Structure 1
Amino acid sequence: MDFSPGHLDLLLSRLFHDLISPVGAARNGLELLKEFGADEVGTDAMDLAADSTEQATARLTFFRMAFGGAGSSAGHGFSEADRIARGYLASRRIEWTFSGTAGSPTPQTGTVKVLLGAVAVMADAMPRLGAISAAVREGAVILAAEGEGAVIEPTVLSALSGQREASDERTVLAATVNANVRRFGLNLAVDAASPPTISIIYSESS
């Protein structure tokens, strides 16, 4: 999968943007401890630093699998995807459920990578708090989002379907998901843009 320098710039800019908030909050908590000491600020600053560090770790783990090299190798199963998505969405205050995974064999290489990338697109489609669910059904994963105002914007939808290239930090995630779908020989369909529903078709393997 070849990305143009502009595509890579947009992708990295977007990922770094998502990390700034929790890393900055952790730094603020540590600076309070350094300036006033634990006795003055109590446990609030320590809790802030710990919670923000946990959020940053969850997002880094998610980005590494969804958009880095970690998700490109074989052997990644749905239990791993469940854990990683849960941590990432919790850091964004979005609920997550994943059903139908019990007894499901390891999916085709790249499926978990594409699944997590689609989760990121779904999360962006929710301007307010809500919930994202996933269900495994006969060689497919069905993603659905519920929340006030949840919708995949037309430009993002076009990038997700491969009809346009990435043009900003919102469309770059969708364009990257599309590139990975083609790279791993999967199929992806947006069943509804509002409320968002995405199907990822893969081949099961033992």
Structure 2
Amino acid sequence: MTTQLDLAALLCSRLCHDMLSPVGALNNGLELLADEKDPAMRQRCIELLEQSARVSAHKLKFFRLAYGAAGGFGEHVPAEEPHELLTALTSADERVTLEWAVSEATLSKPAVKMLLNLAAMGLDSLVRGGTLSVGAERNDGATEIAIRAAGPRIAFDKTIGLALTGDLPAEELSGRTAPAHMIHLLTEAENGGVQYHHGDDALVLGAVLPDADGMIG
């Protein structure tokens, strides 16, 4: 059985892993800037530092909403918040296109957490680029979320799918599968449902979360 402490440790491991690259780039850039005398090269170093700083800030904002308590917001979060985060993350790869189809002005915190984590799984699967489509709407007392990642050679680790459905043994959980396990626990706590389908050229992930006073059987 995975305790809350175990899950927190695994999520911290995932966060540190994902932050290592942009923070490392900042450190390397500062070292190069300290030794570089050529004005053109110094300007290039500054541009790279600015880029790494933006990536770091976007990732931290993502983790705040996807993993954390999303302090600073009420029970609902403006839909523009996850939209801006996913726009920033997808723009870092010119091979990836984001299609946003969220009709709601606000989403509940659990729905935002679900949407961002599923979208991240879809984005990770686009190893050769493609289109990430993100949709969400409220319907019959529940929020329906649909993520579709389409492109050549979609990559999706089957252990992530098992963690998402709660079928991965606790002793096999890792930083890589911890977000999917967290989504599984969130789905159970909210009396919702989550599913996925992995094909050669597309990965589809869907979730349904009832309103606070509702329940999905």
TM-score, normalised to structure 1, is 0.85
Indicate the residue corresponding to 2:110 in structure 1: 110
Task: Report Cα offsets for 1:14-44 as digits up to 9, x if no partner.
Answer: 1111111111112222222222246262311
Give 2:187's aligned amino acid.
V
Indicate the residue corresponding to 2:176 in structure 1: 170
Paired-residue identity, %: 24
- What is the rounded CA distance, in whole Å, between the counterparts of 2:76 and 2:4 in structure 1? 29
Give 1:193's aligned amino acid.
H
Instruction: Rate the CA distance shift 1:92–1:12 in 2: closer, same or farther, 3 A.
Output: farther
Answer whether contact 2:70 2:109 (CA < 8 A) is retained.
no
Answer whether contact 1:186 1:200 (CA < 8 A) is retained.
yes
Shift of 1:50: 0.2
Task: Output aligned runs, 1:182-193, within 5 Å.
Answer: 182-190=188-196, 192-193=197-198
Name the SS of the counterpart of 1:202 in structure 2. strand
- Tell me how large the CA RMSD over aligned residues is: 2.5
Instruction: Rate the CA distance shift 1:105–1:32 in 2: closer, same or farther, 3 A.
Output: closer
Which residues of structure 1 form unaligned runs of 5+? none
- What is the rounded CA distance, in whole Å, between the counterparts of 2:53 and 2:165 in structure 1? 35
Shift of 1:202: 3.0
- What is the rounded CA distance, in whole Å, between the counterparts of 1:154 and 1:118 in structure 2? 14
Indicate the residue corresponding to 1:65 in structure 2: 65
Shift of 1:89: 3.0
Task: Report Cα offsets for 1:48-82 as digits up to 9, x if no partner.
Answer: 00001100100010011000111795111322221
* 1:119 counterpart = 2:119: yes
Instruction: Rate the CA distance shift 1:42–1:36 in 2: closer, same or farther, 3 A.
Output: closer
Instruction: Rate the CA distance shift 1:92–1:17 in 2: closer, same or farther, 3 A.
Output: farther
Aligned residues: 201
Indicate the residue corresponding to 1:160 in structure 2: 164
- What is the rounded CA distance, in whole Å, between the counterparts of 2:58 and 2:109 in structure 1? 22
Indicate the residue corresponding to 1:90 in structure 2: 91
Answer whether contact 1:106 1:204 (CA < 8 A) is retained.
no
Answer whether contact 1:58 1:84 (CA < 8 A) is retained.
yes
TM-score, normalised to structure 2, is 0.81
Indicate the residue corresponding to 2:215 in structure 1: none
Which residues of structure 2 form unaligned runs of 5+? 213-217
* 1:55 counterpart = 2:55: yes
Give 1:114's aligned amino acid.
M
Shift of 1:92: 5.4
- What is the rounded CA distance, in whole Å, between the counterparts of 2:54 and 2:14 in structure 1? 19
Task: Report Cα offsets for 1:86-135 as digits up to 9, x if no partner.
Answer: 2233345543221142xx25334410111111112222323332221112
Shift of 1:199: 1.3
* 1:142 counterpart = 2:146: yes
Name the SS of the counterpart of 2:147 in structure 1. strand
Name the SS of the counterpart of 1:69 in structure 2. coil
- What is the rounded CA distance, in whole Å, between the counterparts of 2:4 and 2:208 in structure 1? 27
- What is the rounded CA distance, in whole Å, between the counterparts of 1:196 and 1:158 in structure 2? 15
Bigger proportion of residues as strand: 2
Task: Report Cα offsets for 1:151-180 as digits up to 9, x if no partner.
Answer: 432211110011123522321121112122
Instruction: Rate the CA distance shift 1:108–1:45 in 2: closer, same or farther, 3 A.
Output: closer
